[in-house]
A and B are shown apart, each in its own frame.
Chain A
Amino acid sequence: MSPRPGFVLEVDRSTPATLIWHGEGFRLERLPVGSRVVYPPEALSPLEDPDAAIRHALLHPLGDSEPLPALLRPGMRLTIAFDDISLPLPPMRSPDVRQRVIEAVLDMAATAGVDDVVLVAALALHRRMTEDELRHIVGDRVYDAFAPHGLLTQHDAEDPDGMLHLGLTDAGEDVEINRRAATSDLVVYVNIDLVPMDGGHKSVATGLASYRSLRHHHNVRTMQHSRSFMDQHRSELHSSNWRMGRHIAASGVKVFQIETTLNNDTFPDQFRFLQRREWEWSVRDRAGFLAVSKSLERTPERLARSIFQSIRAPHAVTSVQAGEVEAVHTRAAEHLHTQQSVEVAGQTDVLTMGLPYLCPYNVNSVMNPVLVMCLGLGYLFNMYRGKPLVRPGGALIMSHPTPWAFDPVHHPSYIDFFEQVLPETTDPLEIEAKYEEAFATDPWYVHLYRTGHAYHGVHPFYMWYWGAHALQHLGAVIVVGGDRRAVRRLGFKPASGLGDALEMAEDVVGADPSITHLHAPPLLMANVS
């Protein structure tokens, strides 16, 4: 049976309870009759032979680009940049598609006799990855061939010798990227597009950039003027990245872009009920749900966290495209939309969503309250084209335990942001004006970013900015089942249950509101008419 498209269910009296994510867990909850539930499309069927598809893409590039072998010659400097651990979510089963692509590229480079090859993990201001994480992404063959010689590097935006300023764009934005990439004869960027925000010029212009460059588009104004940043054509974030990308190309940096898309097959077989519609649950699905949710009740938090963090998604490759950045991204975005788009008629007064245990920035660690805000108000809220799912002044209800817990290794600046900035103000503009500079240049954060596995000092600010559009748009944000103190600190309202939350929402949006539940993950992009 071919995969079914996503659809909108109207809850009636026969509708079984709806699965709602809640951090490291989930529960079944009856939504009021008349609510809508937006279900993601089912997983597209994968490419039968991804390796052949990769080769084909490299040999038949899109747009104004020669086939990869024609771009490779002995004596050249070749840099292969690739996306970091924030993609895909959850991390995919081995072999990772990046490994397949990198190996194919290296095969061609070897054939062409290219000696000077360096691999760069395009971290931007994300944390450096551990050896295990890198091995998972590039595979053991590549790791063992490059890492011992120091040729497998991780981008360091704070390395004064490692960055190169390429001048200003027409709009006066600094363009500063990784020196190795900027001075290479060819940059091959290996992408995974998980959400429509990824890919395109954002790959190089963000992934290999510095704070000095990023602040031109990672800021409150950009975010508040992106409707949404998941829709390239209505996103200031992307306009700026596109300007920078074109400036980079004009500066003589040749980029050969490879973008891959994955299907929606997000959870392994034992968790398959998470991606099935409740009324289609078989005995096995119900038994699976009961077994998992009952045992989670008795599992210590830390253990549950490590169990969930060990999930590897059975994601399969649905498309590979290579060549000139813009042509490639256009095609990749089409594939992504085929997989994720759902038509939704009209906005809603109250949007509910269950937040899972994972967002791009807490792979192998804790989802702290700032990330909860970012996942709900940044990512899921913005997964729309046209209009937001919820009307202006509407209410957003998120379900997540929101523990007052931080990973001191990955998120040191988040702790200070949460403890010292949020009690003062939660207004993104004020936060940006008053604190961003100090955090971004704090030598301790810089040290931890460069030598440890810490996100950059300014990263929590970006998380907050990511939600700026939602904060501006929404009338109320209610968190169900969260740590009350932490939720208040975020400036949101805590509620003990969904029922209470809906009552509270009525105070904001009026009696008898329309309710829509976002049944994600697996991810979906709502086309709201």
Chain B
Amino acid sequence: MKALVFERSLPRYAAARVVSSLGSGRGVSVAPLRLTDLDPPTLPGPGWRRVRPRLAGICGSDLTTLDGRSSRYFEPIVSMPFVPGHEVVGDIDDDGGGRVVIEPVLGCLARGVEPPCPACAVGDTGGCERVAFGHIKAGLQTGYCADTGGGWSDGLVAHASQLHPVPDGLSDEAAVMVEPAACAVHAALAAGVTEGSNVVVLGAGTLGLCTIAALRQLALPGTLVAGAKHPAQRRLASALGADLVVDPPEVPRAVRRLTRSLAAGAQLTGGADVVLDCVGSADSIEDAMSIVRPRGRVMLVGMPGTARLDLTPLWHREISLTGAYAYGRETAGGNGRPGAPRTFELAFELVVQAGLERLVSARYPLDRFHEAVEHAGAAGRRGATKVVFDLRDQPRWRTAETAR
């Protein structure tokens, strides 16, 4: 089976880091990622199913890895070599039918950990406490685990608990947006947006746009301000429900005027109630802290990595700085209560309501992965949002078992 494999190779990883300084996604030309013929992953145990990807998205965190910039934090919770790709819509192969979206988090259930950790016990897999343990290798998600395979291939294995059937009316493009939409839903619900509050979303890539849509559909912000760099992003941000869309350098002025606050230097004295940072750079976090009101909340939705920050305003203004990683079960304003809807169920609704299908802007076959990754790295500038691998035309593979 064809797959893009990410291997452990320090020199190439370092080289990718150097090359990627030319621009995000450029590191792929030297990164330890290669297209190979692999044996399909074996089913790790009962309850596991083969999935044949149809579309697999390229996520911002994938780019970070390929650019050699991912945090060392991940070292113990991933296992190499792995096949990247965690935004996957595919066919359940064994049954020969049924499209599914994979919920990539590998929680206690998938790992065969008995009894499950308290978070997994209530279905809040995003908060799993056993990510590196159990009968499969370490890996926080499908796409970072050596045992499961990933979306950038024509075959992977997934636990039944990870599978969400795709309704017939939903296109593959819409379905592949469910995973990022789920992240956004989780962030939007966890951000504690009260009715009428002023909310700012920094960044208008896939995650930023999904977050704008999620906030608009699932919360009741008073005014939703979006900072978007590129014209196409600005158009989409408006279309998805932002009240005021401005260039990133204009955000502080827009927030100041909106909240009628004063300014002391670059720091607003008042500010927005909640700022969702969908960029994840040190600069964007500092920007977020300078425009959030005292005792407001800054939520990091984009994966931040290592950042050098002045946390004085955090201390002085008693800002809550929180992260929003992934999903499980949601209730507005709180996580993990049993009986609450699964994040993915809400995400399916959001994708349909907000028409997130339109965010899929480019499809590439696997063997053109250089172009695909570079396109994803320059998505905003090139007027794109989500770049996906299209695997629907790949010849069918035969498992080792069937060959025998």
> A447 within 8 Å of B by Cβ?
yes
Mark interface residues in B217-260 (1 if CB within 8 Å of A CB, else 0): 00000000000000000000000000010110010011011001
Mark interface residues in A443-456 (1 if CB within 8 Å of B CB, else 0): 11001000000000
- Residues of B close to A419: CB separation below 8 A: 246-247, 250, 253-254
Once the chains bind, are B254 and A444 in contact (CB under 8 Å)? no
- Residues of A close to B246: CB separation below 8 A: 419-420
Once the chains bind, are B256 and A444 in contact (CB under 8 Å)? yes
Q: How far is the CB of A483 from chain B (nearest CB, A)?
A: 14
Q: How far is the CB of B255 from chain A (nearest CB, A)?
A: 11
Residues 413-449 of A at the B interface (beta carbon under 8 Å): 415-416, 419-420, 438-439, 442-444, 447
> B262 within 8 Å of A by Cβ?
yes
Give which listed residue, A420, A438, A439, A447, contacts B254 with CB less than 8 A.
A420
- Residues of A close to B253: CB separation below 8 A: 415-416, 419-420
Residue of B whose beta carbon sits closest to that of A420: B254
Give the A-B pair count, Cβ closer than 8 A.
30
> B261 within 8 Å of A by Cβ?
yes
Give which listed residue, A416, A420, A439, A444, contacts B261 with CB less than 8 A.
A444
**Bound-complex Cα distance A420 to B260 (A):** 14
Once the chains bind, are B263 and A444 in contact (CB under 8 Å)? yes
**Bound-complex Cα distance A439 to B253 (A):** 13
- Residues of A close to B260: CB separation below 8 A: 438, 442-444
Residue of A whose beta carbon sits closest to that of B258: A420
Residue of A whose beta carbon sits closest to that of B262: A444
Q: How far is the CB of B13 from chain A (nearest CB, A)?
A: 41
Residue of A whose beta carbon sits closest to that of B256: A444
Once the chains bind, are A420 and B263 in contact (CB under 8 Å)? no
Mark interface residues in B92-119 (1 if CB within 8 Å of A CB, else 0): 0000000000000000000000000000
**Bound-complex Cα distance A439 to B261 (A):** 12
Mark interface residues in B255-280 (1 if CB within 8 Å of A CB, else 0): 01100111100000000000000000
Q: How far is the CB of B224 from chain A (nearest CB, A)?
A: 14
Residue of A whose beta carbon sits closest to that of B247: A419
- Residues of A close to B254: CB separation below 8 A: 416, 419-420
Q: How far is the CB of A414 from chain B (nearest CB, A)?
A: 11
Q: How far is the CB of B263 from chain A (nearest CB, A)?
A: 6
- Residues of B close to A415: CB separation below 8 A: 253
**Bound-complex Cα distance A447 to B261 (A):** 11
| Size of A's binding interface in residues, CB under 8 A | 10
- Residues of B close to A420: CB separation below 8 A: 244, 246, 250, 253-254, 257
**Bound-complex Cα distance A420 to B249 (A):** 13
- Residues of B close to A439: CB separation below 8 A: 257
Residue of A whose beta carbon sits closest to that of B244: A420
- Residues of A close to B256: CB separation below 8 A: 416, 444
Q: How far is the CB of B229 from chain A (nearest CB, A)?
A: 14
- In the complex with contacts A420-B244, A420-B257, A442-B257, A447-B262 CB distance below 8 A: yes
- Residues of B close to A447: CB separation below 8 A: 262
**Bound-complex Cα distance A416 to B225 (A):** 14
- Residues of A close to B262: CB separation below 8 A: 443-444, 447
Residue of B whose beta carbon sits closest to that of A442: B260
**Bound-complex Cα distance A420 to B250 (A):** 9
Mark interface residues in B360-374 (1 if CB within 8 Å of A CB, else 0): 000000000000000
**Bound-complex Cα distance A3 to B25 (A):** 70
- Residues of B close to A442: CB separation below 8 A: 257, 260
- Residues of A close to B257: CB separation below 8 A: 416, 420, 438-439, 442, 444
Residue of B whose beta carbon sits closest to that of A457: B257
**Bound-complex Cα distance A416 to B244 (A):** 12
Residue of A whose beta carbon sits closest to that of B269: A444
- Residues of A close to B250: CB separation below 8 A: 419-420
Residue of B whose beta carbon sits closest to that of A441: B260
**Bound-complex Cα distance A439 to B260 (A):** 9
Residue of A whose beta carbon sits closest to that of B253: A416
- Residues of A close to B244: CB separation below 8 A: 420
**Bound-complex Cα distance A268 to B371 (A):** 61
Mark interface residues in B169-208 (1 if CB within 8 Å of A CB, else 0): 0000000000000000000000000000000000000000
Q: How far is the CB of A458 from chain B (nearest CB, A)?
A: 13
Q: How far is the CB of B302 from chain A (nearest CB, A)?
A: 24
Q: Pick from A442, A443, A444 the residue with the most CB of B within 10 Å.
A: A444
- Residues of B close to A444: CB separation below 8 A: 256-257, 260-263
Residue of B whose beta carbon sits closest to that of A421: B257
- Residues of B close to A443: CB separation below 8 A: 260, 262
Residue of A whose beta carbon sits closest to that of B246: A419
**Bound-complex Cα distance A444 to B246 (A):** 20
**Bound-complex Cα distance A443 to B253 (A):** 14
Q: Pick from B246, B256, B257 the residue with the most CB of A within 10 Å.
A: B257
**Bound-complex Cα distance A416 to B260 (A):** 12
Q: How far is the CB of B251 from chain A (nearest CB, A)?
A: 10
**Bound-complex Cα distance A420 to B226 (A):** 12
Q: How far is the CB of A457 from chain B (nearest CB, A)?
A: 9
Mark interface residues in A31-48 (1 if CB within 8 Å of B CB, else 0): 000000000000000000
**Bound-complex Cα distance A415 to B256 (A):** 12
Residues 157-210 of A at the B interface (beta carbon under 8 Å): none
Q: Pick from A416, A438, A439 the residue with the most CB of B within 10 Å.
A: A416
Q: How far is the CB of A298 from chain B (nearest CB, A)?
A: 29
**Bound-complex Cα distance A439 to B258 (A):** 10
Q: How far is the CB of A454 from chain B (nearest CB, A)?
A: 12
Mark interface residues in B301-328 (1 if CB within 8 Å of A CB, else 0): 0000000000000000000000000000
8 contacts between A and B (CB under 8 A): A416-B257, A419-B250, A420-B244, A442-B257, A442-B260, A443-B260, A444-B256, A444-B263
Q: Which 3 A-B pairs have the closest CB atoms?
A: A419-B250, A444-B262, A416-B257
Chain A interface (Cβ < 8 Å from any Cβ of B): 415-416, 419-420, 438-439, 442-444, 447
Query: Other than the known A439-B257, A444-B257, what 5 A-B pairs have Cβ atoms closer than 8 Å?
Result: A416-B254, A419-B250, A438-B257, A443-B262, A444-B263
